[in-house]
């Protein structure tokens, strides 16, 4: 069984991004980039399925600029067998990425596409669901537990009221939530080994996909800042202020 794992290169989750002075976009110059944390969880899960003898091959895919190669090498250091870079300098939106992945699915014929549930840069939470729709496959999103047996996946999902467990027939798209696993740290030998794993490069034209953005960003701005208030002395002071000053209790 082959598992395809899309990985996105994003601003590191510890970085506080800043808006460019002209409000045209966020300033990404000299900012630390990393693999989207949810994608790291997805790679880890796929590698565990391979280690458990369920998956036979884990293929990491990234779409974007040449530097996405680094993200693919990270995925291979965690344990992906090979990488595919869909190289383009065009701004990629979820619909376009889903179309690129569809083209790759038709070529690679994976049984499972395991995505991160959302990327922490655009917070869109769309790509996996879009791909499932385009492929006419079932989807199991926001997974906190995945059990694959035969031609079926049993997935526990994090939903607003608690948890739900669903069964989907494969092939299917699954997306990872935070508590699916804790990704391992790539060891130095595995980082070295990852450098020699195959990395194929293609592009949207070769895959026959139009990636023209459908949404135009007119401007970006920082939300109104919340300023720190006051320190209260003790519980009595707090209750008094909440009653008489803030009037919220």
Partner 1 sequence: MAILVIAEHDNSSIKPATLNAVTAASKIGAEVHLLVAGSACAPAADAAAKIAGVGKVLLADAAQFADQSPENLAALVVANAAAYGHIVAAATTVGKNFMPRVAALLDVAQISEIVAVETPDTFVRPIYAGNVLATVQSSDAIKVITVRATAFEAAGEGGSAAVENLAAAADLGKSKLVNRELTKSERPELTAAKIIVSGGRGMGNGDNFHRLLEPLADRLGAALGASRAAVDAGYVPNDYQVGQTGKIVAPQLYIAVGISGAIQHLAGMKDSKVIVAINKDAEAPIFQVADYGLVGDLFEVLPALLAELG
State the Rg of the chain over Cα. Answer: 21
Residues 179-208 that bind partner 1 (CB under 8 A): 179
Q: Give the residue from 57, 79, 52, 62 showing the smallest Cα distance to 8.
A: 62
Q: Does 168 bind partner 1 (CB under 8 A)?
A: yes
Distance, in Å, from the CA atom of 172 to the CA atom of 152, rounded to the nearest integer, reads 9
Among positions 150, 154, 202, 204, the unique one binding partner 1 when judged by CB under 8 A: 154
Among positions 33, 90, 178, 191, the unique one binding partner 1 when judged by CB under 8 A: 178
Q: Does 4 bind partner 1 (CB under 8 A)?
A: no
Residues 28-47 that bind partner 1 (CB under 8 A): 38
Distance, in Å, from the CA atom of 109 to the CA atom of 102, rounded to the nearest integer, reads 10
Does residue 185 sit in helix, strand or coil? coil
Among positions 106, 109, 133, 195, the unique one binding partner 1 when judged by CB under 8 A: 133
Q: Does 12 bind partner 1 (CB under 8 A)?
A: no
Among positions 118, 143, 174, 194, the unique one binding partner 1 when judged by CB under 8 A: 118
Q: What would the two tokens of residue 98 be?
A: 């889903």
Q: Is 99 exposed, middle or buried (0-12, 13-18, 19+ CB in 10 A)?
A: buried
Which residues are CB-neighbours of 6 under 8 A, at least 6 positions away? 39, 42, 60, 61, 62, 63, 97, 101, 113, 115, 116, 127
Q: What would the two tokens of residue 229 be?
A: 């208030």
Q: Which residue lies nearer to partner 1 by CB, 13 or 195? A: 13
Residues 46-85 that bind partner 1 (CB under 8 A): none
Q: Which stretch binds partner 1 (CB under 8 A): 74-82, 105-113, 122-130, 201-209?
A: 122-130
Interface with partner 1 (CB under 8 A), residue total 79
Q: Does 132 bind partner 1 (CB under 8 A)?
A: yes
Residues 215-234 that bind partner 1 (CB under 8 A): 215-223, 226, 228-232, 234
What's the min distance (Å) between Cβ of 192 and partner 1? 31
């Amino acid at each position: 069984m082959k598992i395809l794992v899309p990985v996105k290169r994003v601003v590191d989750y510890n970085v506080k991004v800043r808006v460019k002075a002209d409000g045209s976009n966020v300033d990404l110059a000299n900012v630390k980039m990393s693999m989207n944390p949810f994608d790291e969880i997805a790679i880890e899960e796929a590698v565990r399925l391979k280690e458990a003898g369920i998956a036979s091959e884990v293929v990491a895919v990234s779409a974007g600029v040449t530097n996405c190669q680094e993200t693919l090498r990270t995925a291979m250091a965690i344990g992906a067998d090979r990488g595919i870079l869909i190289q383009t300098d065009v701004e990629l939106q979820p619909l376009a990425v889903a179309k690129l992945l569809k083209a790759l699915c038709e070529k690679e014929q994976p049984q499972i596409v395991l995505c991160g549930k959302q990327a922490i840069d655009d917070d869109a939470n769309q790509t996996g669901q879009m791909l499932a729709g385009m492929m006419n496959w079932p989807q199991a999103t926001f997974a906190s537990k995945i059990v694959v047996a035969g031609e079926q996946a049993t997935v526990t999902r994090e939903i607003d009221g608690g948890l739900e467990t669903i069964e989907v027939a494969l092939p299917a798209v699954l997306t990872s939530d935070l508590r699916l696993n804790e990704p391992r740290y790539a060891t130095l030998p595995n980082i070295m080994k990852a450098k020699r794993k195959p990395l194929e490069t293609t592009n949207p034209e070769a895959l026959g996909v139009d990636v023209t953005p459908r949404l135009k960003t007119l401007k970006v701005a920082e939300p109104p800042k919340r300023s720190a208030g006051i320190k209260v002395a003790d519980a009595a002071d707090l209750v008094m202020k909440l009653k008489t000053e803030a009037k919220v209790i």
